[in-house]
Structure 1
Amino acid sequence: MIKRQLHDKVYWLGAIDWDRRLFDSLIPLPDGTSYNAYLVQGSDKTALLDTVDPAMAEMFLAQLADVPRIDYLVCHHAEQDHSGTIPLVLDRYPDAKVVTTAKAKTFLIDLLQIDEQRFITVADGDSLDLGGATLNFIHTPWVHWPETMVTYLAEAKILFSCDFFGSHIATSDLFVTDQGRVHEAAKRYFAEIMMPFRTVIGKNIEKLAPLAIEMIAPSHGQVYDHPEWIIDAYRDWTAGTPHNLVCLPFVSMHGSTRVMVDHLTAALMERQVRVELFNLPVTDIGKLAMSLVDAGTIVLGTPTVLTGPHPMAAYAAFLANALKPKARYLSIIGSYGWGGKTVDQLAAMIPNLKVEVLDPLLVKGHPRQDDLAQLDRLADLIVERHKKDEFRR
């Protein structure tokens, strides 16, 4: 890899991770990812903004071979895919200071054992003049950790946004060239990482609104040289009205629950409600999370295992509870053989969801005609609620 110029005296450097398919031993990466850092050279001082995942350290350090001096190493976020190579950079540049928030300083000392004397902490609104290049630091807590900040380079109108507006894509293109592909990747990234904090993220978007932003340079994915559309997308994902959409994750062991899922899906489609099905044993969890960004209603489909929900349905409930989507309604459908407390147990797993629970239906054995008629009534109720709330079509 080589440094690539973004603007006069501003360079991208980092690493493209073409092969990575899992993040945090949890998040699927179907398109790989990148770890982006940036070099800003003023007439007096030079600043490096972030580093890369330690696995890519050798590639990253090679790009600094012709950089004789780094005065400041700005750390926006302490997670190791951004910060993990800081100790190696500090070894190479013994006079460099780590510039970060007070909270991030404590994290970096704990995670990387960096000497406390190497830090400069910055308050919200502080700035550094590099000589014709002014770095303005803006605290953006909970995007997506409590210590995060972004940097605005005033002269070039570039926002270095760290995880904010990021996307997991491995590509040789420095700038966004396929907006549709990046929109999907950025939505997946938001769904998996940012959605639990969407309320405070919405406030941080408005905090950035007074800035004249002509370019957004995130820590993952491509650089936005026309950033208006991704800002608008974030506004919708954080605060927009839910869609006329039912997200339906399900699992079926012997076919009874699948019959119910298919019948409800057909009934909703007939009533002009969009449905997205996720057969949990084979589902990409990232796709499920993306559906939760927009869904007005969630329906969980599960058989009963022993006395409770199938473990995969329990995981889907746990995921929805953790991600805190803006859905307003939820229901549970499925079957059982001899008894249990599936509905009670699933309901207890979603305290973070501010939803109305609509007519759960668990049937004994294979569903009969009366059971299918109840699913039709559930479809009618979902339509009624979506129309009342004027969900987006």
Structure 2
Amino acid sequence: MKPMKIKDGVVKLGAVHFERRLFDSLIPLPAGTSYNAYLVEGSEKVALIDTVDPMKLDVLMEQLNDVPKIDYVVSNHSEQDHSGSIPFVLEKYPEAKVICTPKAKTFLMDLLHIPEDKINTVEDNERISLGGKTLRFIHAPWVHWPETMFTYLEEDSIIFTCDFLGSHLATSELFAEDECLVYNSAKRYYAEIMMPFRNFIEKNLDKIKNLKIDYIAPSHGPVYNKPQFIFDAYNSWVYDDPKNIVVIPYITMHGSVKAMVDYLTAVLSQKGVVVKPFDLTVTDLGELAMSLVDAATIVVGTPTVLAGAHPQVIYATYLANALKPKTKFLSIIGSYSWGGKAVDQLSSMITNLKVEVIPPVFIKGLPKEADFKLLDELADTIVEKHKETNIK
């Protein structure tokens, strides 16, 4: 990857990781990812904003071959996919100082063993002049770590947001030209990483809303040369009410739960509800997370394993609880034979969700006519709840 010019004195560096398919040993990456760094050259000083994952260190160092000096290495976020190459940059430019928030200083010292005397901390809205280019540092805690900040290049109206507003998308394009493709990748990124911090995101969107922003330069995915596109998407994901959607993550072992899910899906669909069932044996959990961004209701479907819920259903419930979507209602359906503790087990795992729990439908064995009538009643209740809360 060659350096790409955004404006005079501002270039995008970094690496595209086309082949990476798992992030943090947890998050699927169907479209790969990128690690973006940015070089800002003033008439007096030069700043490197963020670095790359050490797996792609060689790409960054090659890009820096013709850069004679770096005065500042700005660390917007201490996580290693952005900060992990800082020690190697400091080795090449021993005169450089790391710029970060006070909280990030400790993180960088602990995670990367950067010496304390190499780090300068900045307060919220503090500025550094590079000569004709001024960097303003905006603290943005919990987007998505407690030490995060944004860097705003005042003269060029560019905001470097690190993870915020980014997308796990491997692309060689500088700007977000294919907005449909970028939208889906950015939504997945929001769902998997940013959604648990929705309340903090609201505050930080407010914090930058009055800035003149011509470009948004995140640390994953393309640069936004039409910033309103991603602002509109985030405003929808963060502020809009959930939609008339029911998400059903489920597991079936011998067909009973599948029969219940298929029946409930058909009944709800006939009543005008959008239903998204996810068989957890084959589901991309990122797709499940994306569906939770908009869903008004979750119905968890499980068989029993050793009298409890299936382990994959337990994990999916844990995931939904951790992601804290805007969902308003939740219910549980399932089947048991000789032990039925799954409902109590799953109900105890949703403490983060501000939901009304609709009485579950948990049956013995293969569903019978009476059981399907209970599913009819569940569908009617969901439809009525959506109407009562003006969900459309």
TM-score by length of structure 2 reads 0.99
Counterpart residue number, 1:251: 251
CA contact (8 A) 1:250 1:277 kept: yes
Amino acid aligned to 1:117: D
Equivalent position of 1:17 in the other structure: 17
Match of 1:52 in 2: 52
Matched position secondary structure for 1:217: strand
Counterpart amino acid of residue 166 in structure 1 = G
Q: Is the 8 A contact 1:306 1:340 kept in 2?
A: no
1:348-387 Cα shifts (integer Å, max 9, x gaps): 0111111111020110001111110111111111111111
Q: Distance in 2 between matches of 1:235 and 1:189?
A: 15
Paired position in structure 1 for 2:122: 122
Deviation at 1:251, TM superposition (A): 0.3
Superimposed CA distance per residue, residues 256-294 of structure 1 (whole angstroms, 9 cap, x where no aligned partner) = 000000000001000000011100010000000000111
Amino acid across the alignment from 2:169:
I
**Aligned counterpart, 2:102:** 102
Give the structure 2 partner of residue 371 of structure 1: 371
Q: Specify the alignment match of 1:309 in structure 2.
A: 309
Partner residue of 2:67?
Answer: 67
**Does residue 6 in structure 1 map to residue 6 in structure 2?**
yes
Residue 163 (structure 1) aligns with: 163
Find the aligned partners of 2:257 and 2:299 in 1 and give their Cα distance. 12
Runs of 4+ in structure 1 off by over 6 angstroms are: none
| Alpha-carbon distance in structure 1 between the residues aligned to 2:366 and 2:255 | 8
Q: CA deviation at 1:238?
A: 1.4
Across the aligned residues of Structure 1 and Structure 2, the Cα RMSD in angstroms comes to: 0.6
The equivalent residue for 1:291 is 291
CA distance in 1, matches of 2:356, 2:90: 53
SS in 2 for 1:291: helix
| Alpha-carbon offset, residue 170 of structure 1 | 0.7
Name 2:353's counterpart in structure 1: 353
Q: What SS is found at the alignment partner of 2:151?
A: strand
Code of the residue aligned with 2:69 in structure 1: it is R
Q: For 1:134-162, what per-residue CA distance to the aligned partner results, in whole angstroms no more than 9, with x for missing partners?
A: 10100111111000000111111111010
Partner residue in 1 for 2:213: 213
Matched AA of 1:175: F
- Quote the Cα distance in structure 2 between the aligned partners of 1:66 and 1:229: 35
- Partners of 2:248 and 2:38 in 1: CA distance: 41
How big is the shift at 1:232? 1.4
Q: Within 2, Cα distance between the matches of 1:59 and 1:229?
A: 30
**Bigger shift: residues 375-384 or 279-288:** 375-384
Matched, 1:142 2:142: yes
Which residue is equivalent to 1:229?
A: 229
Q: State the partner residue of 1:79.
A: 79
| 1:383 and 2:383 correspond | yes
Query: Any conservation in 2 of the 1:199–1:239 contact (CA below 8 Å)?
Result: no
Structure 1 residues 49-82: Cα deviation after superposition (integer angstroms, max 9, x where no partner) = 0000001001110101111110000000000000
Partner-residue secondary structure (3-state), 2:166: coil
Q: For the residues of structure 2 that align with 1:152 and 1:324, how far apart are their CA atoms? A: 30
Tell me which amino acid in the other structure corresponds to 1:252.
Answer: T
Does residue 324 in structure 1 map to residue 354 in structure 2?
no
The letter for the 2-side match of 1:36 is N
Asked whether the 8 Å contact 1:175–1:225 carries over to 2, the reply is yes
Query: 2:174 and 2:200 mapped to 1: Cα distance?
Result: 29
SS of equivalent to 1:98 = strand
1:240 deviates by 1.3
In the alignment, the residues of structure 2 paired with residue 197 and residue 298 of structure 1 have an alpha-carbon distance, to the nearest angstrom, of 20
**Alignment correspondent of 2:204:** 204
Give the aligned residue type for 1:347.
S
AA of the residue aligned to 1:204? N
* 8 Å Cα contact 1:250/1:313 also seen in 2: yes
TM-score (norm 1): 0.99
1: CA distance, partners of 2:109 / 2:119: 10
* SS of alignment partner, residue 352 of structure 2: coil
Identify unmatched segments of 5+ residues in structure 2: none
Shift of 1:339: 2.1
